[in-house]
A and B are shown apart, each in its own frame.
Chain A
Amino acid sequence: MSKSVSETWWRALLGIAAMALVVSFPFARADAAKLGENVSTFKLDNGMEVVVIPDLRAPVVTHMVWYRVGAGDEPAGQSGIAHFLEHLMFKGTDKLAPGEFSKTVARNGGQDNAFTSQDYTGYYQRVASDRLALVMDMEANRMTKLVLSEEEVLPERDVVLEERRSRVDNDPSSRLSEQMNAVMYLSHPYANPVIGWHHEIEALNRDTAISFYKQYYAPNNAILVVAGDVSAARVRELAEKYYGPIPAQPGLKPRSRAHEPPHQAARRVILRDARVDTPRFRRMYLTPSFRTAEKGEGAALELLAQILGGGTTSRLYNKLVVEQKVAILAGAWYSGDFLDSGSIGLYGSPAPGNDEIALEGAIDAVLDDIIENGVTDEELADAKSLLIADTIYAVDSQTRLARIFGVALTSGQSVEDVQQWPERIERVTLEQVRAVAGKYLRIEASVTGLLLPPEKTAEADQ
């Protein structure tokens, strides 16, 4: 909670990334050989995948278990159950009293937490390397031996409702994102928020949680990622001891969600709120994800988004904010780390004296230009070197590397995909960038969102 030293607060608040911060997959071309030797993967007999990323600089390890299940796998009407279960995993098991998991981690000088997305649920502990066996023992235990009583479940449901109020209901910008997302998908469950709709969270209970848990929590649906001061041999020995004896879940089915039909109409969502002053513009285009993209398209989409709207030298920022002064900020990003589909997002706010309509027109003009004429050699070269450099920066953090592999493997990619990322970036051509721009920046496959102040009433105008 320390607030003494932070990133430039207003850039963070406005969502202006000085550099590419949302970039996905590291691995330096220059270091690829070395890192290739470093990262090892193997599978336990019960189907649990294991990834080991040695980093011997500090005597600490990051231990993570990722389940191939997320909000996108929830039964209809039970939105939020994946995330709710993640909270409940910190209650008791047959061997651990409620709360004892985290208390034990803390007492051993460690930190723990968990997270849920559309495609995965992850649990992690950061501990001294000589505590790895201890956390593995407990994590293995709660994979199949969770014990829940209503008296623990009900207050936790209230906690999740408070979390929803903090993250969404109290914040008009999050409410707009949630509404846009719901409109984006015509059939696919990505339409539901990961945290769940309020009325559906209220109806979740012990039984819905346990039934979801029994269906999805098993070694053959899990990936163990260990990064830090440990050898692959040691991880194998410990993983076989603690995770090895857990039987595979024979009834586990391949993940299969509803498919999106072709999108035929541009959609528009307007949210008005008294707490909004300057209008905010957002747009999402439905695109493939890294997994579903045709060869080379994922890297081309990442580069397109970087050139279009990553940082202060991007097309959108340069044209709209610096040159035309129609916007105070503008940018774009690509989200490709999903199992079933990705998106390109745009954002901006009009400068004083302009409105959201003028801003939208200026944004569309920039998009039209790129679709028509593509990007320049220099833009492509700079974006490539930036994305590749980012992979070297990522190597500095064992936790970041562990997350990168966990996300990739739970969203349908392989270790090789991660390692080959710099090469894929390097291979992208000008023509490919222009091609993905033309193919995916299609207004019929988009949702435009506007966050506006309340409409002036006739009375207020007088």
Chain B
Amino acid sequence: MMAIAGVRATSKSQGTIMMTRYLTAFTLLMLAAFSPAAAVEIQEITSSKGVKAWLVEDHTVPLVAVRFAFRGGAALDPADREGLATILSGTLDEGAGGLDSQEFQRALKKDAVRLSFDAGRDNFYGRFQTLTKNRDSAFELLRLAVNEPRFDDEPVERIKAQITEALKRQENDPETVAIRTWMRIAFKNHPYSRNTDGSVDGVGAVTPDDLRGLTQALFSKRNLVIAVVGDIDAATLSGLLDTTFGDLPEKSADNPLPEAAVTSGPVRTIVDMDIPQSVIQFGHVGIMRKDPDFIPAYVMNHVLGGSGLTSRLMEEVREKRGLSYSVYSYLSPFEQAGLFLGGAATQNDRAGEALEIIERELKRMADDGPTPDELDATKTYLTGSYALRFDTSTKIAGQILGIQLESLGIDYIDRRNSLIEAVTQEDVKRVAQRLLLPGSLIVTVVGQPKGIEPLEPTQ
């Protein structure tokens, strides 16, 4: 706090009486730094048929939230079936068992069951929520969707048409074009280079048999990770896990992706689009989730371009110069590669200026790391705000699903804040130097930017 006041004093303002009070509050936080673990007690459940789940029991609100994932996602789509996993996500709830598409959708609606699927790059996700009073019939619909999807021609063709339309719209959306172009350059021939949402041709080629094949390849007990939160006890859940997922095969085919190399920059690619604002996507190789430096890197990136109004990129690009409404950076760890990514959007005339400032800030961070005060402020933010991720059933379910998928351990919620606390000045300096490569950025720009020249990757 004092140091921030100091920084401010050099520019234009000064500390005030009020700040002393904030300083007091701040000290209290350090003493009282609480963990959300107090509110989140995880039970580890294995049903009699061997289905595993983590449960957080809370009977306050009469509903149950479930998040689950099958390991293996859209990156596994065959090269001539790009979009297969996405189509699966759209057709599992379009008819199952004895119910055709409209009957199944009506059954969901009648009981207000919230069920949806999403094809991620590395995992295939399910979300499910039901009111307690409809619990058993809701789980039955989930069972049908996962075990007995029909893939009738009508819904498959209809969903394919909708996904095709969405893909066409994305082709004209500058943000999507910028990140897709970026991924193509970064991952060349690796499956990660492809559009995991699909391609018009790939979607067109998918048949109901392809969808059946994919469920066989993905849906097994060994591939399955489940998180449950809400108004249900362990014994009841255990029975429902058996009926819902217990009859899935033990294991499905192993088809891991190869490790992915990331192209080194510098690269500048401009995609011409007749729009007033240039959308800039930048980044380079990053860091894997299992790397011991991941937490220090996460802390460092928060100072550079993390959420909120307070990051260096926000301060320099937005607050001081008014160059962009949004500017950010983040770590994106996939199963087989880590990325450091960021973005901004600036009127065409000033796009070059914005990119220059971003590169300068990356270099400043790589050279000097965060200041001790920035490190302190970020640590208190990250530890204090951790509890904000646990204030609804669906958010808690999302957190404990992610912890399982990343294999962080059932005590991770207890440990997480001490991992952040343990990050030292030397750690963040070291990872800033290691991670940030301002001279090697891959930059894609969609629009008609001034002051940015194309630069081909060196082979």
The residues of A with any CB-CB pair to B shorter than 8 Å are 1-11, 13-14, 16, 18-19, 30-31, 55-60, 90, 92, 95-100, 102-104, 106-112, 126-128, 130-131, 134, 137-138, 141, 154-163, 165-166, 169-172, 228, 274-278, 311-313, 318, 321-322, 325, 328-329, 349, 351-352, 382, 385-386, 389-390, 392-393, 395-399
Contacts and interface: CB of A to CB of B under 8 A. Distances in A.
Given A99-B309, A170-B276, A396-B392, A328 B165 contact: yes
Contacts of B321: 155, 158
B18 A137 contact: yes
A92 B169 contact: no
Contacts of A109: 29, 380-388
B143 to A, nearest CB: 19
Contacts of B347: 161-162, 165
B62 A328 contact: no
A7 B1 CA distance: 39
A384 to B, nearest CB: 11
B168 A278 contact: yes
Interface in B134-160: 154, 158
B95 to A, nearest CB: 11
A398 B388 CA distance: 11
A349 B165 contact: yes
A95 B18 contact: yes
A52 B382 CA distance: 27
Interface of B: 1, 4-5, 8, 12-14, 16-19, 21-22, 25-26, 28-29, 32, 34, 36, 38-39, 58, 60-63, 65, 67, 86, 89-90, 93, 101-102, 105-106, 109-110, 112, 114-118, 120, 125, 127, 129, 131, 154, 158, 161-163, 165-174, 197, 273-277, 279, 307-310, 315, 318-326, 328, 330, 332, 345-347, 377, 380-388, 390-394, 398, 401-402
Contact of A166 (B28, B127, B325): B325
B8 A159 contact: no
Contact of A10 (B67, B90, B101, B382): B90
18 contacts: A5-B125, A5-B398, A8-B118, A13-B170, A56-B60, A60-B391, A95-B16, A97-B12, A97-B14, A100-B4, A109-B382, A165-B345, A170-B174, A276-B172, A277-B169, A277-B172, A395-B61, A396-B392
Contacts of A158: 321-323
B108 to A, nearest CB: 8
B112 A385 contact: yes
A56 B25 CA distance: 22
Given A103-B310, A386-B109, A392-B62, A19 B381 contact: no
Given A126-B388, A275-B273, A156 B322 contact: yes
A104 B5 CA distance: 11
Contacts of B116: 7-8, 11, 18
Given A8-B90, A59-B39, A385-B110, 19 more contacts: A55-B391, A99-B315, A100-B19, A106-B310, A107-B1, A111-B385, A162-B322, A166-B277, A169-B276, A170-B345, A171-B173, A228-B391, A274-B274, A275-B172, A328-B162, A329-B162, A382-B109, A386-B109, A392-B61
B22 A104 contact: yes
B162 A108 contact: no
A351 B161 contact: yes
B40 to A, nearest CB: 8
Nearest to B342: A1
B392 A163 contact: no
B166 A10 contact: yes
Given A162-B277, A393-B63, A9 B197 contact: yes
Contacts of B173: 171
A-B residue pairs, 8 tightest by C-beta: A109-B384, A158-B322, A389-B112, A155-B322, A97-B13, A10-B166, A165-B277, A275-B172
A263 to B, nearest CB: 32
Contacts of B315: 99
A349 to B, nearest CB: 6
A393 B393 CA distance: 10
A13 B324 contact: no
Given A5-B398, A328-B162, A10 B86 contact: yes
A177 to B, nearest CB: 15
A345 to B, nearest CB: 19
Contacts of A112: 308
Residue with the greatest number of chain A CB neighbours at <10 A, chosen from B65, B106, B279: B106
Contact of A106 (B39, B161, B308, B391): B308
A59 B120 contact: no
Contacts of A110: 384-385, 388
B324 A57 contact: no
A102 B12 CA distance: 17
Contacts of A14: 162, 165-166, 169
A59 B325 CA distance: 32
A328 B161 contact: yes
B63 A396 contact: yes
Contact of A57 (B26, B277, B391): B391
Contacts of A9: 118, 166, 197
B26 A170 contact: no
B309 to A, nearest CB: 4
A328 B164 CA distance: 10
A428 B99 CA distance: 30
B330 A1 contact: yes
A139 B265 CA distance: 45
A321 B159 CA distance: 10
Contact of B345 (A137, A166, A313): A166
Contacts of A6: 118
Contacts of A352: 161
Contacts of B390: 58
A18 B385 contact: no
Contact of B26 (A107, A127, A349): A107
Contacts of B308: 102, 106, 111-112
Nearest to A134: B25
B110 A103 contact: no
A159 B324 CA distance: 6
A397 B60 CA distance: 12
B162 A16 contact: yes
- Which of B110, B279, B320 has the most A CB atoms < 10 Å from its CB? B110
Given A31-B62, A97-B8, A170-B174, A396 B324 contact: no
Nearest to B344: A162
Nearest to A387: B112
Given A18-B116, A19-B109, A393-B114, A128 B320 contact: no
